Amino acid sequence: MNGSAATSFTDLALSIQAGCRRVGQTGSVETVRSALLGVDVPVVAAPMAGGPTTPRLVAAVGSCGAFAFLAAGYQPPEAVAEEIAAARATGLPFGVNVFVPTPVPVDDAAFRRYAARIADEGRPYGLDLAAAPRTEDDDHWAEKIALLVRDPVPVVSFTFGLPTAAVVRDLRRAGSRLLVTVTDPAEAAAAADLGVDGLVAQSGHAGGHYGTFTPGLPRTRPAPRGAGRSGRRPHRPARPRGGRRGRGR
């Protein structure tokens, strides 16, 4: 872990925790481990969409007494259903992470510029990335939520935004505990207001995905201490994640 990344991550975690403490209490690792996730070992394998996370990985982590998430992102709901069935067959606790659709339209010119920039990388695989059509979708959000309501899992986590209150209600009724990834105190307060069970605090230096709610304004550094404190009451355990130096979303 890079030193400056570690420092800024610590700043972010402290900033969020300070916001929580002002009006309530922050969960310790013990609270998160035992009460929220129900595992013996205080280690969580983060979801990694796009292939790295598999039911085998989830089973391997679970068999060590730790907790792992399946990654529903970028997969059709049928594939997610199969992965849930495979993870459930182990009898070990696990969670499912879902990407919240972000209603930010893609700028066509920016998309074309980016596609041209990465075109060389596609060539060895026979891909013409520069000519790729622009596709906007919501990653099958409604179908994935319907699946999780129909076929509940112990924990559902959300990344890139907040679920609606109705989704929170339905998943709660189905018996799932809910977590939201947040990247600054304002996002933490908004998630707490929704009544979720816990927060996953992530720094702007996190690897793979920076889970900000506002991709149009990516931060290269975490918010300064106290930024966005709303005075609302995020009485939620916070689980720090993401200290590695890496790019944002």
Ligand X SMILES: Cc1cc2nc3c(=O)[nH]c(=O)nc-3n(C[C@H](O)[C@H](O)[C@H](O)COP(=O)(O)O)c2cc1C
- Judged by the rule CB under 6 A, the positions of this chain that interact with ligand X are 46-50, 52, 71, 73, 97, 159, 181, 202, 206-209, 211, 241-244
DSSP alpha helix (H) spans, the chain: 3-23, 29-30, 55-63, 77-89, 108-117, 119-122, 141-150, 165-174, 185-193
C-beta closer to ligand X: residue 19 or 242: 242
Structure tokens at 237: 């355990």
Closer CB to ligand X, residue 16 or residue 48? Answer: 48
Amino acid present at 25:
Q
Minimum distance from CB of 180 to ligand X (Å)?
Answer: 10
Q: How far is the CB of 131 from ligand X (least distance, A)?
A: 26
Residue placing its CB nearer to ligand X in the complex, 130 or 194: 194
3-state secondary structure of 191: helix
- Are 175 and 152 contacting, i.e. CB atoms less than 8 angstroms apart? yes
Cβ atoms within 10 Å, residue 164: 11
Q: Of the two residues 122 and 246, which places its CB atom closer to ligand X in the complex?
A: 246
Nearer to ligand X, 22 or 219 (CB): 219
- Least distance between ligand X and beta carbon 76 (Å): 15
> CA 247, CA 196: separation in Å to the nearest integer?
27
Tell me the C-alpha distance between 27 and 210, whole Å.
23
> Cβ of residue 212: shortest distance to ligand X, in angstroms?
11
Nearest to 26 by CA among 239, 194, 178: 239
CB of 148 to ligand X, least distance (A): 15
Q: Give a three-class secondary structure readout of 103-131.
A: CCCCCHHHHHHHHHHCHHHHHHHCCCHHH
Please report how close the Cβ of residue 164 comes to ligand X at its closest, in angstroms: 19
Residue number with the shortest CB distance to ligand X? 208
Q: Looking at beta carbons only, is 19 or 240 nearer to ligand X?
A: 240
